[in-house]
Amino acid sequence: MAVDLTPGPFAAELAERTARFVRRTVLPIEERHRGVPSSEAIRLELQQAAREAGVFAPHVATEFGGHGLDMRDRAFVFEEAGYSLLGPLALNIAAPDEGNMHMLEAIATPEQKERYLRPLATGDVRSCFAMTEPAPGAGSDAGALTTRAERVPGGWRIEGHKWFITGADGAAFAIVMARTSGAPGDAGGATMFLVEASNPGMKVVRHIDTLDESLFGGHVELLLDGCLVSDDAVLGEVDEGFRYARVRLGPARTTHCMRWLGIARRAQDIAVARATGRELFGSRLADLGMAQAMIADNEIDIAAAHGLILQACADLDQGGSAAHSTSIAKTFCAEAVWRVVDRSLQICGSLGVSGDALLGRFLREVRPFRIYDGPSETHRWAIARRVVRRHEAATAR
């Protein structure tokens, strides 16, 4: 299948506007706060500016106030937003809210969409996705889920311990994955529940100290202790939570790649600017072979990542199984973005290490992406299994 490498006319214009908005409005705020959105006031300032610029919520359906872009067109806009660590927050396309919006649009009831999706899409509230648990619970292996939900009169009681829940501090609600049948290790038996932050049975235990700091609301440990919810809190169908998670995870992995690719481009731009302006050993740094090799390798990684993202987007837009292409894109992009930022820091030398450039911050932010949304090793295992199964099926035929 041929993959269109160009955005549609509307998406192209929106991407240009996003690029201007990020450079003129977001970058000065990012510099002021060193890439860390430390207060709700910063989020509100950024999002109001994005609304005024006409670039807010490019991914959400128009009926909920967005621009309704498909995955391919999102790639171009999200990449421009990702040129700044704070760009995705400004456009309301940051994780985990962006992935939650995608899933709510796909499977929520009309009543749930009004109650949860609409205020999330407009930026009035934030959300989180609570699946990961402390070992030996759910992590890379979602089937290890230990949090349980049991039927009680009028609804469900949820008991469990969640870990590394991004954005939980200050979120208005959580989408909680809990086991409603079976045992840890079983492939099925999970259900998603919409749990409001005001529920006394869901408590924030602590903020987890992490390498990265740019994801708003931090990474949080949650305790679900006698958490009672009504039947209308069930998102989708009972025992179908793992199937619904796939609705979210493939697109969310791909949009993560889009956003981080923007940071890779930013790092490359910083490095090239430094290399063309820095003179040593009688010539510009940009004219020395080893620096040229790093610049070229950065460009190759950026171009290859962009192509793999568009392939994954094409598969997602066609509605088929995109598990293979999204795993390939996620694994390559997570490692390529790290390489680009690392090389860029090397080119900049002491400036790259110093706080005068944000490359050190970028390096800390992009490193965890090789673990988030499935570690590279887990994706490689899944990719290899699919390839082997395909070979065995072809041999049998």
**Does the pLDDT of residue 3 top 80, yes or no?**
no
Residue 147 vs residues 104, 179, 225, 240, 371: alpha-carbon distances, Å = 22, 6, 10, 15, 22
Helix 241-277, helix 71-81: angle, nearest 10: 40
- pLDDT-based confidence at residue 4 (cuts at 50, 70, 90): confident
pTM score over 0.85: yes
Is the predicted pLDDT of residue 231 greater than 70, yes or no?
yes
Q: What is the pLDDT of residue 2?
A: 67
d(CA 198, CA 16): 40
Residue type, 67: H
Average pLDDT over residues 368-385: 96
Environment class of residue 170 by beta-carbon count within 10 Å: exposed (0-12), middle (13-18) or buried (19+)?
middle
The Cα-based distances of 223 to 148, 189, 341, 343 in angstroms read 12, 21, 36, 41
DSSP 63: G
Instruction: Name the band, by pLDDT with cuts 50, 70 and 90, for residue 280.
Output: confident
SS3 call for 178: strand
> How many other C-beta atoms lie within 10 A of the C-beta of residue 235?
22
Helix (H, G, I), strand (E, B) or coil at 211: coil
* Local structure of 102: helix, strand or coil: helix
Tokens (6 digits) for 393? 């099926």
CA–CA separation, 320 and 306 (whole Å): 21
Give residue 394's pLDDT band: very low, low, confident or very high (50, 70, 90).
very high
| Average of per-residue pLDDT values in the chain | 96
pLDDT bucket at 1, cuts 50 / 70 / 90? low
Q: For the chain, where are the alpha helices, taking DSSP H only?
A: 9-21, 27-33, 40-53, 71-81, 87-91, 97-107, 110-112, 118-121, 241-277, 289-317, 323-348, 350-353, 359-366, 376-396
Write down the pLDDT at residue 166. 97
Domains in the chain: ranges and CATH = 9-94 (1.10.540.10), 127-235 (2.40.110.10), 242-396 (1.20.140.10)
Per-residue pLDDT tens over the stretch 12-37: 999 999 999 999 999 999 999 999 99
Question: 268 versus 140: which is more confidently predicted?
Answer: 268
Q: What is the DSSP string of 229-287?
A: EEGGGEESSTT-HHHHHHHHHHHHHHHHHHHHHHHHHHHHHHHHHHHHH-EETTEEGGG
Question: Measured on CA atoms in the order 354, 273, 83, 41, is the torsion positive or negative?
Answer: positive
Q: Which tens digits make up the pLDDT trace of 85-119?
A: 999 999 999 999 999 999 999 999 999 999 999 99
Q: Which residues contact 174 (CB under 8 A, 6 or more apart)?
A: 127, 128, 129, 130, 165, 168, 194, 195, 197, 202, 222
- Structural contact between residues 52 and 90, judged by C-beta atoms closer than 8 angstroms: no
The DSSP letter of residue 144 is: G
Q: Is residue 142 predicted with pLDDT exceeding 80? A: yes
φ/ψ (deg, to 5) at 211: -65, -40
Q: Write the pLDDT tens digit of every residue in 187-212.
A: 899 999 999 999 999 999 999 999 99
